[in-house]
Amino acid sequence: MPPIYLDYNASTPVDPAVAAAMRPFLEQAFGNPSSGHWASTPAKAALERARGQVAALIGAAPEEIVFASGGSEANNLAIKGTFFAPNRQRAHIITSAIEHPAVLAPCRFLERFGASVTHVSVDRIGGVDPDDVRRAITPQTTLISACPRSTLGRRSQERCRSPPRAAPTCRGTQRTRR
């Protein structure tokens, strides 16, 4: 029996419609949208069009939309950006004890700069109790990065296996909040 892939939050096959929409930018209009030369123009226009579409979808202004290359970059940008914001007056961050390393590493890094980080506990299946998060909030809390079902990560990741002639059973999965 072939293995069952359960980490679709980290990596998935590209949907054919997405591949078709991206093909012109992979094969013809591949210029860096941040460059100022002729090859950047089509990519820049497409990027700004996408930014406007995402903004409209979620009720935001286009200038509020920031695209990142992946979840780790986005987490670093959000966590460190919030802490190092020019007008920041609070320095308390709440996360769970088993968040993805892309969340825990920047939190550890910020502790060296004076951040106070609270790691709320999780239940036996990685669930964060919203009441625990509420109790951890202080007047100094500036950011909460904890998902309802946290990434089990490398520390407690288990493989999903299918015993011969039986339905698949799964003892643990991994997911990210990208």
The per-residue pLDDT for range 77-89, each reduced to its tens digit, is 999 999 999 988 8
Contact 26, 19 (CB under 8 A): no
pLDDT at 114 over 90: yes
Q: What is the pLDDT of residues 44-71, one digit of tens each?
A: 999 999 999 999 999 999 999 999 988 8
pLDDT at 151: 43
3-state helix, strand, coil in the chain (%, to 5): 40, 10, 50
pLDDT at 12: 85
| All structural domains of the chain with their residue ranges | 16-64, 71-156
For the whole prediction, is pTM greater than 0.85?
A: no
pLDDT band with cut points at 50, 70 and 90 for residue 158: very low
The 3-state DSSP class for residue 62 equals: helix
* C-alpha pair distances (Å), 11 with each of 42, 43, 67, 83, 153: 28, 24, 17, 29, 15
* C-alpha pair distances (Å), 126 with each of 5, 16, 160: 20, 33, 16
Q: According to CATH, what is the number of the domain 71-156?
A: 3.40.640.10
